[in-house]
Structure 1
Amino acid sequence: MNWYEFRRILLAVDASTQSANAVELIANFVPLGTAVKIVHIWPLQVAGQDGFSVPETRTMAESLVEGHADRLRKAGLEAIAEVRTAPVGRTYQEIVDAAEDFASDLIAMGSRGRSDLGGLFLGSVSHQVVAHTTRPVLIVRGAPQPAKPQRRVLLAIAGGEEIATAVPTAIAVSRRWAAEVLVLHVSRVLALEGVPWTEPAPEAQAAVDAAVRELRAAGVSAHGDVVTGGGSVASEIAEIAEGWDADLIVMGSRRLGELHGLLTGATDHQLVHRIQTPVLIAGRSQGE
């Protein structure tokens, strides 16, 4: 598998800065000739100049997607634009359906990075999309980093079945970018009946070593690390990614249910809230 297999991308946008950042990331780092469908779900609410929310017109929606499509066409991509409608609270499902209709290899979208409760009550569309699709999802907040001699991809794994999906995804991106990969496992410290418990170090190290071997066998420069932190897994990943100056974080395909994940704090949702670095969540099989 390599990045060039991501030949059909569904890019979901709104009028936010984060969506514009997602467009720029796709424009700058996706191979020429890639087919991209830009989808905007209408009607939404947009902020007026006086600070109040005003209804978005169909003309505004069409102008938004066409503007982004023009940007991608100038970058050499095959971009088409579509405005779709959805009932209130079902924006995420319309995005998932659009990806299915387009037979996309990847869903990309911006995220404002709402907190867990904010995402629950105000609508964390990106988290809901992750929870309801089997496709890889690229979530973007910050602007793309300037070009540098070698890009860096942090692959965060929990072991087990995640390696089967996360490692090929990391290989895909790393080949495209000629990037170096850091395979990271954050061992959790849990309190079981008041007694601290840490994941067995040999199991964590074995998972990291297996991922590093697979990456190197594919011609990717890779090394691994196992850390144990007192904070949340998302906080540890974010701190290491920022310290290492990662350009992208790739995560495995474990997904919690929509409501359960928001209330208990799914790692992918927490991480997007904490960091400006794009997060690519690997796909999963239909049975997961």
Structure 2
Amino acid sequence: MWKDRHMMISLADVLSAAERIHGRVRKTPVIELGREKPTSRGSVWLKLEQMQHTGSFKPRGAFNRILKAMEENRLPETGVIAASGGNAGLGVAYAAARIGVQARVFVPETAPPVKVAKLRKLGADVVQVGRIYDDAYRAAARECEKTGALFCHAYDQPEICAGQGTLGLELLEQIEGVETILLAVGGGGLFAGVATAVQGHARVVAVEPECAPTLNTALAKGGPVDVAVSGVAADSLGATLIGDLGYQVAVETRSESLLVSEDAIREARRFLWDDCRIAVEHGAASAMAALLSGAYKPERDERVAVVICGANTDPSDLAG
């Protein structure tokens, strides 16, 4: 239906996305870690994408998907549909509201009430169905077939990935000579976009929880396969299958995937709060966990950027 079986993404796509969404998303800041630096080797910067609209990078891709459809006269009167109880749904709802089109977001009945409330506050028509994300996804697919609405995939569409890749273009401008970018991977949309945007300038290292190794398993098996997902980061890194685009880009760029433990993720989240006063969700702390735990060890004088990609968390346990 909405999925192109010959999906590809190029630097030209990312550059077009940057022009298309300019002025609609924030160019989020970077900060260099000083005395609180988690490693004595190299320089470390944080890309503060948790300060993006809705608290994550997702509006970048959502704006690009919807605006490109409008340019090509492919946006139906029935609006847009997404399946997500988390950051992707919020990104689509926000973009649709700002553009002036109707958004319907399908979420499982188990979705956190706070996120459902945020979706409704943004003007989305929220449909709760089933117990897990796949139930909501299938319901969204049926609705798209019925109404002809434009589907906004959480992570596996070229326009979505290209929009997320604009974050990579910003990093190249903001950190002179950046060599390595660490970012968390769930379905792989952010990874696919950023790795495409910075290819030839910097390498991207994927970081995944041990309890949600979608890309890591795909690289080991020679293709995307379903994996069991659990753990503290499952609310934001809960995809059970790496996207086709994320896998293709990982193979093409010869990227690596590192796994981090639950304890390492919790410790990284505490570090970001205690030492940097940055409140993030567990999934967003995964990239920092790779540095703190030693899963990624920079070379001496290496210039490393860590993407802090989401802040939609319950702050009550940050000091715990």
Of Structure 1 and Structure 2, the greater strand share is in: 1
Q: Pick the TM interval, shorter chain.
A: 0.3 to 0.5
User: What is the TM-score normalised by the length of structure 2?
Assistant: 0.33
